[in-house]
Amino acid sequence: MKNDMEKLLSDAFYAPEPKNKQAFLKNIRPREISTFEMILQQFYYIRFSVWLYVLGLIVVVVTGALLQFEAIRILFTIMMSFTAVITVLETRRSKKFGMSELEMATRYSLKSVVIARMLIVGMVSLAVLFISSPIMAISFQEDVIITTMRTMIPYLVTLFVSLRFERSVLGRSTEYGSLVIGFAVSAAMIFFHTNCREIIIGYIEMVEKWGVFIVVLLIALTVSEQCKTVKNVEEFA
């Protein structure tokens, strides 16, 4: 009797098969976002001060080059070294503002966010270098490639040393260690430029002979450090 009653109730209140169930579930799924879109989204999270610094760098260097201010050569190299510092500081923003754990649980991994930000700032830095260096070289009647490499080497050295320092125990506990490295590299360049002209002349000659090899080597070392930084970013979060 009980089974019959259950059957009667089941027949009376039979739930029809849901129509368009798969289409409905498909519509509520998050939209797939391409790698390019993800990188584009990270543009909005780069600090306004970074874009302001980059714009100021271009304006200062181009103006100084066109007016042929001699000091603009060393100033350009110094300012490019600090773009390397900015690149490293952008990798620390999640940790600085306590967002590391949240970002590790979101749609994009923390590694992806760090890669995107490093890629954005790095590409912008290279764009600045490749825009400003030819103007500088033409204004001072120098070789474009030599001028570019002469500026790129301190930039890569600063970036490499800063990334390596950030992965150390001291670097993880020091918020602005890379900034100190940037100041140290800049101070060394100013000192040699003003007090050791022989060293500067020797440096230029070295760049003319071995510049391409040195730049390629530094790029390889820097990329290796960037890979290690990305690999360990969630471990050190």
Token pair 């190299």: residue: 77
Token code pair at residue 45: 């999270």
Number of Cβ atoms within 10 Å of the Cβ of 95: 17
Q: Tens digit of pLDDT for each residue in 181-224?
A: 989 998 888 888 888 878 888 888 898 889 899 999 999 999 88
Residue 214 confidence (pLDDT) = 92
SS3 content of the chain, % helix, strand, coil (to 5): 80, 0, 20
- Using pLDDT thresholds of 50, 70 and 90, give the confidence band for residue 120: confident
State the DSSP code for 169. Answer: H
| CA–CA separation, 122 and 80 (whole Å) | 11
Say if residue 99's pLDDT is above 60: no
| CA–CA separation, 176 and 170 (whole Å) | 11
In DSSP notation, 63-75 reads HHHHTT-TTHHHH
Average pLDDT over residues 158-169: 86
Extents of the domains making up the chain: 33-232
| CA–CA separation, 167 and 233 (whole Å) | 9
Residue 226 confidence (pLDDT) = 82
- Using pLDDT thresholds of 50, 70 and 90, give the confidence band for residue 74: confident
pLDDT, the chain, mean: 79
* Helix ranges (DSSP H) in 140-176: 144-166, 169-173
| CA–CA separation, 103 and 84 (whole Å) | 24
Report which listed range, 42-51, 116-125, 178-187, 194-203, is most confident: 178-187
Token code pair at residue 117: 């930000």
Contact 116, 110 (CB under 8 A): no
Contact 42, 120 (CB under 8 A): yes
Token pair 């579930």: residue: 25
How far lies 105's CA from each of 23, 100, 109, 115, in Å? 27, 9, 7, 17
Contact 189, 77 (CB under 8 A): yes
More confident residue, 15 or 41: 41
- Using pLDDT thresholds of 50, 70 and 90, give the confidence band for residue 178: confident
C-alpha of 18 from chain center: 49
More confident residue, 182 or 167: 182
pTM: 0.76
Average pLDDT over residues 160-189: 83
Q: Tens digit of pLDDT for each residue in 5-32?
A: 666 666 666 666 666 666 666 666 666 6
Token pair 């066109």: residue: 66
Say if residue 230's pLDDT is above 70: yes
Token pair 């050569």: residue: 73
